[in-house]
Amino acid sequence: MAQLDRRTFLAGAAVVAFDPVTSHWLTSFPENTSAIQIPHLDGELVTDEQSLTEAATDYGHLAHRRPRAVLRPGSVRDVATVVRFANEHRLTVAARGQGHSTFGQAQTDGGVVIDFRTLATIHEITPDRAVVDAGVQWLDLIRAALAAGVAPPVSTDYLGLSVGGTLSVGGIGGASQHFGLLVDNALELEVVTGEGRLVTCSADQERDLFEAVLGGLGQFAVIVRATVRLVTAPTMARVYTLTYPRITDLTAAQRAVLADGRFDYLEGQLVPTDDDGFAFVLEGGSWFTSAPPDDDVLLTGLAPSGVDVVDVTYFEWLNRIYETVEQIEALRLPSPWLNVFLPDAATDEIVTELLTTLTPADAGGVALLYPTNRSLITRPQVVVPEGPVFFLLALLRAVSPPDDAEAERLIAENDALYARVRAAGGTGYPVNALHLSPADWRDHYADRWPAVRSAKARYDPRRVLAPGQGIFEAVSRASGTP
C-alpha cells in the first residue's frame, strides 16, 4: 500500500461533531443537544464507506472489524487530540501503519483507526541515524538513506511495512544475527500514551515507557516519530543459495555459519519441489563495496548439494520481494500466517514432524526457517525462547482461490502447531492468524505478564489502544473499570 497524501482526502466528508449518546460521528452539526463539536484537527476524521471498509480489513483478509471513523492525521498533535477525545468518550483507537497484519491486529470494532499513511515524513538522515514519522515505509527510508551512503543495519524481508507497525512487533531479518531486531536499533521515540500525553522516550529518558512501547503491540502508546540507527551501507551483495537434501543438513549448516558469523545475512527456506515436497535452502549474503568476498572461504565446510551465487546491488537485495508481495496482495487472498520462534534444541524435531504433513499448498509456497542469536535481542517486550540460539519458522499461508472453510482449517492448524511450539518452550512472533484469548496472552508473556499488566494500567488505563490484539479485556463502559 502506497503512502497517501492527506490532501487527496480533503474533498471527503469530514467529521465535525460526535454524539456521545449514540457514539456516532457526524459530518454536520445538528440541532441536537447531545452532539458535541470535535476538537480542531490539522488533518481530518472521516466516516465514508471506502475508508471504513479499508480500515476493516488487512493483509490477512480474515478478520473484519469496522471502525466508526478513520483519522488521517495532519500532525502529531492530531494523534494526541483524538486519543484524548477517545479517553473522554470511552472509544477505542487502533493505529494502522500499512495494515500488513494478518488477523485484525490494527483494527477496532466501533472505534477510531489512525491511518498513519498521512504522517510519513522523513525528517532527518545523518551518518548514524534517521528521524522519521511512524507512517514512513522502510522502502522510502532505505531509498533516502542509501542516497546518503547509509542504511539501517537490519531490514525485514519486505520493505512495504511502516516504521511504527514494525517497531510495535519487533522486526526480524537476515541481519538480525549480527544486529538484533529493528526494535534493538531504535534510539528514541516520540509517542502518544493511551491517555493522550505526548512523550519523548529513549534508554536515557522515560526508559520504562520506551521499553514498554518497543515490541509492545501498540498497547501502551502510539508511536508518532522514531529515531533509528543507521550504519555505512555497502553497495553490493553477493548472495549464496545453498541447497541441502534433508532438513537436518540445512539446520546443521545454518548453526555452523551462525556460530562463526561468516555471512552478513543469514536466512533459510523450505522451497517447494516438483514432487510436492520441499528442498532445503540456506540463503547467505555477503556485502561488499569494492573487492567481492572469497567464495572458497565463505563456503568452507558447508557441503551443499547445490550452489548458486549471484551479485546484485545492495538495494536490489533489500528490496527483492517488494514487487512479488504487491502482486500477491492485489489478489486479496486470505492469508493465515504463522510465525513462531523455536528453541534451538527443539527445532529439528518440530520441523521434521511438521514436514510429515505439511504440503507446499498449505505452506503458501516457500516457508522460512532460520536461526538467530538471542543475546542481541534486548527489548523486554519481545518474547523469545531461552537459550543462545532460536529459529524463526514462518508459514506464509495463502488460500487460493479464497475459501472460508479452508482458511479456518489452516487457522486451526496454526492453533495446534502453536500449542506444540509452546509446549516445547517456543514462542509466537505476534503477527499471526491465531485464536489467542487473554489467557493465552498471559501464557505468552509468562514471567513478564505482571510488568505488561502494570504498564497497561500506567500508560493506557482506560484500555483505549490496539484492541485488535485481544490481549486485554475491554474496560466496562458502565463502570469504567477493567
Burial class (CB in 10 A: 0-12, 13-18, 19+), 48: middle
Cβ-based neighbours of 331, under 8 Å, separated by 6 or more:
400
Check residue 437 and report its DSSP letter: -
Among 73, 111, 152, 171, binds ligand FAD (CB under 6 A): 171
- Cβ atoms 263, 245 nearer than 8 A: no
Q: Is 430 in the site for ligand FAD (CB under 6 A)?
A: no
Which stretch, 164-172, 251-259, 285-293, 306-314, contacts ligand FAD (CB under 6 A)?
Answer: 164-172
Given 100, 129, 225, 379, the residue binding ligand FAD (CB under 6 A): 100
Q: Rule CB under 6 A: is residue 67 a binding residue for ligand FAD? A: no
User: Could you tell me which of 123, 77, 71 has the C-alpha nearest to residue 96?
Assistant: 71
Of 38-46, 217-225, 255-263, 441-449, which segment contacts ligand FAD by CB under 6 A? Answer: 217-225
Nearer to ligand FAD, 170 or 284 (CB): 170
Which cell numbers hold the place of 370? 532460520
Pick the closer one to ligand FAD by CB: 35 or 441. Answer: 441
Per CB under 6 A, 172 contacts ligand FAD:
yes
**Does residue 276 sit in helix, strand or coil?**
coil
* Min separation Cβ 370 and ligand FAD, Å: 11
Q: Residue 328 has what DSSP assignment? A: H
Applying CB under 6 A, does 157 fall inside the site for ligand FAD?
yes
Contact between 166 and ligand FAD per CB under 6 A? yes
467 binds ligand FAD (CB under 6 A): no
For residue 285, which of 356, 330, 349, 234 has the smallest C-alpha distance? 234
Q: For residue 101, state whether it binds ligand FAD (rule: CB under 6 A).
A: yes
- Give yes or no for a contact between 334 and 398, defined as CB atoms under 8 angstroms apart: yes
In 3D, which of 377, 328, 314 has the Cα closest to residue 142? 314
* Residues 308-347 interacting with ligand FAD (rule: CB under 6 A): 325
CB of 80 to ligand FAD, least distance (A): 13
Cβ-contact 285, 264 below 8 angstroms: yes
Give the distance, in angstroms, between the CA of residue 108 and the centroid of all CA atoms in the same chain.
17
105 is an interface residue for ligand FAD by CB under 6 A: yes
Q: Is 268 in the site for ligand FAD (CB under 6 A)?
A: no
Query: Does residue 56 contact residue 66 with C-beta atoms inside 8 Å?
Result: yes
Of residues 161, 389, 421, 452, which one binds ligand FAD by CB under 6 A? 161
Coil, helix or strand at residue 64: coil
What is the DSSP pairing of strand 69-72 with strand 93-96? unpaired
Tell me the closest approach of the beta carbon of residue 114 to ligand FAD, in angstroms.
8
- Give the binding range for ligand FAD (CB under 6 A) out of 3-11, 24-32, 160-168, 312-320: 160-168
Q: Cell 533516502 sits at which residue? A: 144
Query: In the complex with ligand FAD, which residue's Cβ is closer, 95 or 434?
Result: 95
Binding site for ligand FAD (CB under 6 A): 58-59, 94-101, 105-106, 116, 134, 156-158, 161-162, 164-166, 168-173, 217-218, 222-223, 325, 431, 466, 468-469
